[in-house]
Amino acid sequence: MGISAKKHWLTGALHSVAVAFLAACGGPTTPGPGEPAGCPAVGILADASRAFFLAVPNQPDPDQVIATARISDFVGDCDYDDAAVSVDMDLTLQVLAGPAFDGRALPVDYFVAVVDPGGQILNKEVFRITAQVPDDARGLSLEETLALEVPLPAGPASGSAYELVVGLQLTPQQLQINRDPVLLSR
């Protein structure tokens, strides 16, 4: 099984944290003979849907926010072959400049994890994109195109039994701020 980024344009157990499932991939409407129906569910991990980048990392303060990144949308499609479900997915990431924005390029890491029907993570890969907000803009949208292969066990199986979970790869402090937003208020 593999996850790969086709192109860059721009960028505990999973079930113990709320997962915001926003949509499922569209799959074949009529499966062929012996072809399992259904695409894996795709969702954004709620606690990892955004990241605050701070000028002074250990001092959460709204005036110290360089930028905020968030995964805002995704669309996908899937196809079956003999042993796997192939999923093509486009993720949209938004980066908004904050009060402490200084023009720097920001590395933004995100992940895609494949979760089996039993809730076990089969694979997780982290990708990095560099966000460069133009000087004359308040923010930008980036699109990332991914190709994923989810292997199916022998015999009848459906891709809809699997989950694809996406999120931003956060530092411990970024996760803490997401879980307790009052840290960024005065």
In a domain, 73, yes or no: yes
The 10 Å CB-count burial string (b at 16+, else e) for 150-182 is: bebeeeebbbbbbbbbbbbebeeebeebbeeee
pLDDT at residue number 129: 93
Q: Classify residue 185: in a domain, yes or no.
A: no
Domain membership of residue 184 (yes or no) is no
Say if residues 126 and 111 touch (Cβ distance below 8 Å). yes
pLDDT at 31 over 60: no
User: Going by DSSP bridges, is the β-strand pair 163-168/41-45 parallel, antiparallel, or unpaired?
Assistant: parallel
Q: In the predicted model, what is the mean pLDDT of residues 121-136? A: 90
Domain membership flag for residue 186: no
* Mean of the per-residue pLDDT values of the chain: 78
Number of domains in the chain: 1
Tell me the CB-side half-sphere exposure of residue 5, using CA atoms within 13 A. 17
Please report which residue ranges of the chain form alpha helices under DSSP H.
Answer: 172-179
* pLDDT tens, residue by residue, 33-58: 554 557 888 899 999 999 999 998 88
> 78-126 pLDDT, tens per residue?
888 777 888 899 999 999 999 999 988 999 999 999 888 888 998 899 9
Query: Quick one: pLDDT at residue 2?
Result: 52
